[in-house]
Structure 1
Amino acid sequence: MRKLTIPKILFLVLITSCFNVITAQNLDDIIAKHIKAMGGAEKLSKLKSMKITADMDVMNMKVPITTTIIQDQGFRSETTVQGMTVVQAINGNTGWAINPMTGQTKATALPEEAIKSMAAETDLTGLYNYKEKGYILTLDGEEDLAGAKVYKVSMTLKNGIKRLNYISKDTFYILKIIVHANMNGQDVTSENTQSDFRQVDGVTYPFKSEVTTSAMPGTTMALAIKTLEVNPKIDPSIFTMPVN
C-alpha cells in the first residue's frame, strides 16, 4: 500500500475544501435565483399572512378547503366533506383538531408528531432566509423530472422534518417536494407536485398541485386554488383551541 506523503495529504485536503466551497457557492446561487423567482427578498420579507380557498379532488369527491396562516405563528385548515367540516389548527407549539367524521365534535389536542409536522406549514417563505431559520440545506445533484431539468436540494428543518426540493433549472420554481415525517409511530412519505405558478401581489405561488402519500397508497389528491390573499388581516384567536 502506497504511503501518503505530507504534500499529498495537503493536496487532498485542499481539493476537498475547494469542492465544498464550490458546492456551497452553487447552492447559494440556486437559492438566490429561487428567491428572486418567488417574488424577491423584499416581497418575501413582508409576507406576514395568507388565506387560501381551494378545491381538492380526492376519491371522486370535490372537497373545499380554506387555509389561514400567520407567519411563524398559526395555521388553520377547514375541510368540508359530506356536509361536515374538519378543522385542524396549529398555535405556536400546540395543535388541535375537530373531526365530526370520526364522531369527534369537540376540539381535541393533536399528538406531538402531528404538531411537529404541521408546524412547518406556518412558514410562508420557504427557503428564504433559511440559515437564519436554522434550516440545513444540501445540494444533492441534478435530475430529469418529467422532462424538466431540476436541482435536488435537501432541507432539514429545526424540528427534524426532512424535505427534498426539486428546483427547476429553467424557472427556479420548486416543481416537486418530497417530505419524510413520522406520524403515529410510522414513517410517512408524501410527494407534492406543483404547477400553474402565478403571482399575487408580487409573490409567486403554485395554483395547482397533486399530492400522494404512503399513508393513502394509490390515492392522488389534486388541489386547485380558487383564491389567494396575501397579507390579509387575521384574528389570531382563530388558532386558539376552543374551550369545550
Structure 2
Amino acid sequence: MKSVKLAILGAALLGGISSYAQTADEVVDKHIEAIGGKENWRKVKSVVSEGLISFQGIDINVVVTAVHNTGSRQDLTIMGQSNYVIMTPTEGWMYMPVQGKTTVEPMTEEQVKKGADELDTQGALVDYKAKGHAVEYLGKEDVEGTECHKVKMVLKGGKETTYFIDPASYLLLKSTSKQSINGQEFEMTTSYSNYQKLPEGISIPMTVNIPLGGPGMNADMVLSKVEINKTVSPEVFKPAK
C-alpha cells in the first residue's frame, strides 16, 4: 500500500511539474501569436528604427540598426554631437564625445559577451528552446492594475529577464533585468506601449520606457519609423577610422 501511495504521489508531482512547464509555453506561444506569429517573426532579418528620447529637457535623436545575429548599431545625436555604440558577436565599440571621449573605445570581452544575446532581431522568445534559452512561469503579478503573467527567461549566455504579459491581449507590458553599475547590482525596468502592426504582419511597441543609467533614470523612446528587412551594409557595424 505504501508503494502505491508513493507512486500516486510521484505521479502527482510529475503532473504538477509538467503542467507548470506547459503554462510557461502556453503564455509564450500566445504572446508570440499576439505580436504576429512565429512565421512572420522568423522572416525578420533586419530592423532599422528611428525615434526620439526626451530626458531632463534634452532631446536625443536615435537610429537603431540591427541585422539578425550579425550586428547592432545605435546612433545617438545629443546636443548636436554624433555618438554611436556598435556590437557584433565578437567585437564592440563605443564613440561617445558627449561624455568627453573623443576616440573610439573597444568593448571589453565581458561587454561583448553580454551584448551577443541582444543581436536576435526575431526576439529571444521566438523558438527559444532551439536557441538554447529556458523559460519558467512564475505566476501572476500586478502591473499598474493588471494581473500580468510573469515569465522568467534565462538566455543561453546566462542573462535573466522577467517578462510581464497582459493576460487579455498577451502583449508584453514590462520587463525587468539585473544590471551591474560601478560594482553594484540594480534591477532595471523597461515598459512597452502603443503597439502598432507593421506591413510585415508583426506588431511592435512604438513607445518604450527605457533605463538610461541608475535606478529611476528612465525615459520614453518614441519611435517614428520602423523598417523591416531593409538592406544594411556590413560597413555599418565597423567603427569610423
Same fold by TM-score greater than 0.5: yes
User: Smaller-chain TM-score range?
Assistant: over 0.9
Please tell me whether the aligned partners of residues 181 and 214 of structure 2 are also in contact (alpha carbons under 8 angstroms).
Answer: no
Amino acid at match of 1:241: P
Establish whether residue 179 from structure 1 lines up as the match of residue 167 from structure 2: no
TM-superposition CA deviations, 1:60-101 (whole Å, max 9, x none): 211111000001110000111111122101122211111112
User: Are 1:156 and 2:154 an aligned pair?
Assistant: yes
* Aligned twin of 1:229: 227
| 1:124, distance to aligned residue in structure 2 (A) | 1.7
- Look up the match of 1:211: 210
> What is the rounded CA distance, in whole Å, between the counterparts of 1:167 and 1:217 in structure 2?
22
1:211 counterpart letter in structure 2: I
AA at the equivalent of 1:82: M
Q: CA RMSD in A?
A: 1.8
Contact 2:176/2:188 (8 A) holds in 1: yes
| Cα distance change, pair 225–114 in 1 and its aligned pair in 2 (3 A) | same
- Aligned 8 A contact 1:143 1:149 in 2: yes
Q: Is 1:8–2:5 an aligned residue pair? A: yes
Q: Which amino acid aligns with 2:109?
A: E
TM-score with structure 2 length normalisation? 0.92
Q: Are the counterparts in 2 of residues 149 and 170 from structure 1 also a CA contact under 8 Å?
A: no
Give the Cα separation in 1 of the matches to 2:190 and 2:8: 43
- TM-fit CA distance, 1:148: 1.8
- Residue 136 of structure 2 is matched in structure 1 by 138
Match of 1:93 in 2: 90
What CA distance in whole angstroms lies between the structure 1 residues aligned with 2:184 and 2:84?
23
Q: In structure 2, what is the Cα distance between the partners aligned to 1:142 and 1:194?
A: 18
Decide whether the 8 Å contact of 1:150 with 1:167 is kept in 2. Answer: yes
Residue by residue, what CA displacement relative to the aligned partner does 1:1-46 show, whole Å, maximum 9, x if unpaired?
A: xxx9333322221111001111122222211111111111111110
Q: Which moved more, 1:202-211 or 1:180-189?
A: 180-189
**1:84 equivalent among 81, 86, 90:** 81
Q: Is the 8 A contact 1:56 1:224 kept in 2?
A: yes
Aligned to 2:67: 70
> Structure 1 vs Structure 2: percent identity of aligned residues?
26
Q: Is the 8 A contact 2:186 2:215 kept in 1?
A: no
Mark the CA change 1:173 to 1:153 in structure 2 (over 3 Å): closer, same or farther. Answer: same
Query: In the alignment, residue 33 of structure 1 is paired with which amino acid?
Result: K
Amino acid at match of 1:136: A
Alpha-carbon shift at residue 116 of structure 1 (Å): 3.2
Distance of 1:6 and 1:182 partners within structure 2:
50
User: 1:184, CA displacement in angstroms?
Assistant: 5.4
Where in structure 1 are there 5+ consecutive unaligned residues? none
8 Å contact from structure 1 (residues 175, 195) kept in 2: yes
87 and 76 in structure 1: CA distance in 2 versus 1, 3 angstrom threshold: same
Helix, strand or coil at the partner of 1:170: coil
